[in-house]
A and B are shown apart, each in its own frame.
Chain A
Amino acid sequence: MSEIKTLLALFADIDPAVQAIDQLREQGVSDEQMTVISGIPLTEAMLGRPRVWSNVPRLALGGAVAGMLIGIFLAVVVPNLYPIQVGRQALIAGAPTVVVLFEMTMLGMLVSTFLGVFLDSHFPSYRPKEYIEEISDGKIAILFSIPDEKETVITSALNGIGAQSITPAERRQL
């Protein structure tokens, strides 16, 4: 049984990187076995890659609902528990309730959006990872796993496209 090897191919520009992705697919590497790492956001459309699922919008919505419930507690439940009569205003008046609900809803939404990034991206994570510093200098890296016997064919194909380097991916402390 052949061993699975993880390689990291580095490209100077987006076009050869996109060609390399197509080449890898032709060699039988599935999209799940590839990860593109870049110093700027490259969309799925640019890379021709399947859409990355993000839970952030759903978490934001959930946070908004939770925030609104807290707002309802503060603006509606609390005045019934500890009544404070203000002028001739109703105990639970419309306008002040809207203000409290708005602020708490937005707070809930934004905090959960922020935490959503942490959850979806597994932040913080200080374990060693496959990475090279040239990526933040604008290079595009493709991290992919292949069976050992395909290494020579794929390496020469990617070199032909213009890979700057193809090295075994090492986990290192960031």
Chain B
Amino acid sequence: MVATAKPLEHTLLEEHEDPRQHLMLDPKPRGEMNAMVMDSMHTTSWKFWVVAILLGLVVLLCLFGAWGYLIAEGLGVAGVNRPSYWGIFLVNTVFWIGISHAGTFVSALLRVFKAEFRRPFTRAAELMTTFGLIQAGLSIFMHMGRVWLSYWLMPYPNERSLWPNFHSPLSWDFLAINTYLLASTMYLFLPLIPDLAMARDRSKGWRKVFYRLLALGFRGTEGEWTHLRTAMNIFAFAIIPVMFSVHTIVSWDFAAATRPGWSSTIFGPYFVVGALQSGIAAVAMVLVVIRATMKNMKYFLRPEHFDAMGKLMLIVSMTWSYFFFNDYMVQWYGGDKFTQMLLEFHEKGPMGWMWFAMLICNVAVPFLTLWNKKIRRTPGLLFTIGLIINIGMWFERYIIIPISLTINRMPFTWKLYKPGIEILLSIGTLSFFILIYMIASRLIPLVPVWEVQEGQMAHGLRKVGKAVVKTVSDLE
């Protein structure tokens, strides 16, 4: 029998794929791209202002108002009480730190591996890191109650001769989160300098002053580019272990305690993957919103980018499932009486619906949908899947923190956590995140134009046999 090769239908389709659907193969003159990005920052419809004002009101009421009330009345107005001393404040802290991981992951890791699809949206992701960390910090301050004493965390010789205990994961948290906040803000700022200079050259009035101050006098000389590129390379490599350390240390807040459900050697990587799961989904959501609401963004953010993000979401979802099952299996097999009770409580207790919803959101939905290229390339659907994943990841943190705290080794203390003012404060932090992101989108060039142009310069088409394929040159 003779085997004959026949071209598959999809191969034929791909052969006729228009290369211009890829941003890197559809270049525009730099001046035009600059104008598009500036235009996107300057164009704000009435809808933008309505949403901004509404969000501002929610922030005023739910964040500052409710927080003021919490400070005035004390932590009694929150639901945290024995045995769940850690409630939604800590759920939100872990959640927002998770969101913040995506910026660094997308930007640094993909930069190190020269994944070209990252180019137009690294900044949008990096902004999420900084703004997400602000929400995480606010949530910690809320949890403290007496927020004005937060400086006690600082390592300095105070009048009582007390120093923070550096054996405590909470002290490590302080160091790690602050390192990450500083590092990610600097990493956001460095590649922004050339774009701020571009904005400076095209602005008037207060914007001109604003961009001139932030652009620091950048012109684009060989020396400036060399120093900038060297620093960005160092940052891209060094910030990755910092990113991993932050969520690992956050996981040690739990894993270092010998509590049922928490004492796990796999919590570090499990938390890191969880952070990436929610963070990447959030980046995809933000990109969809930016594309839909900002002028000219359809040129920069294309189905290929959503496709790539969808693939990442699927891979991370598989990894999260692996870690979740690994953690579950070992806890289940261990045979500890209270751990067994906790696992049963997760599934069959009053919050069992949340446990199943978590699995549906984090495993079933991405597994069943993201295999499909059409779904991945449809912004609206990807947004919905991202939202579902983020709900699932918030549930996951809720299950790990207040629900797991319900079952401990002292059954007489068992009591289900019921949140109070935390709900308002959660709405407040979410609104604050969206609001500052919206404001930033009108002040900061969200697309790193110089990186896009650099990428377009490096890309070309080459004929291999009968096929025309994409090629990328290494410009560095």
Contacts and interface: CB of A to CB of B under 8 A. Distances in A.
Contact of B226 (A54, A110, A125, A137): A54
In this complex, the interface size class of chain A, counting residues with CB under 8 Å from chain B, is 35 or more
B238 A89 contact: no
Given A99-B249, A121-B227, A110 B163 contact: no
A113 interface: yes
B217 A96 contact: no
A42 B454 CA distance: 9
Nearest to A95: B167
Interface of A: 35-44, 46-47, 49, 52, 54, 56-57, 60, 74-75, 78-79, 81-82, 84, 86, 89, 93, 96-97, 99-100, 102-104, 106-107, 109-111, 113-114, 116-118, 120-127, 129, 131, 133, 135-138, 174
Contact of B212 (A36, A116, A126): A126
Nearest to A107: B179
Interface in B422-476: 450, 453-454, 457, 475-476
Specify which of A37, A39, A52, A174 lies most central, judged by the most chain B CB atoms within 10 Å of its CB. Answer: A39
B172 A41 contact: no
A41 B34 CA distance: 16
Given A49-B222, A126-B217, 11 more contacts: A39-B450, A56-B234, A82-B157, A99-B172, A109-B238, A111-B182, A114-B186, A117-B231, A121-B223, A123-B218, A126-B213
B222 A137 contact: no
Nearest to A106: B242
B30 A138 contact: yes
- Interface residues of A, dominant DSSP: helix
B198 A136 contact: yes
Contacts of B29: 137-138
List of 8 A-B pairs having minimum Cβ-Cβ separation, nearest first: A138-B30, A125-B217, A137-B31, A123-B216, A124-B216, A41-B225, A133-B201, A52-B226
Contacts of B238: 106, 109-110, 113
7 contacts: A35-B222, A39-B198, A42-B225, A97-B166, A121-B224, A136-B30, A138-B31
Contact of A131 (B155, B219, B223, B453): B219
A120 B227 contact: yes
Contacts of A133: 201-202
B234 A57 contact: yes
Interface in B149-165: 155, 157, 161-163, 165
Interface in B171-206: 171-172, 175-176, 178-179, 182-183, 186-187, 189-190, 194, 197-198, 200-202
B30 A39 contact: yes
B334 interface: no
Contacts of A43: 475-476
Given A40-B450, A103-B179, A103-B245, A47 B220 contact: no
A153 B238 CA distance: 50
A96 B220 contact: no
Contact of A37 (B31, B202, B219): B219
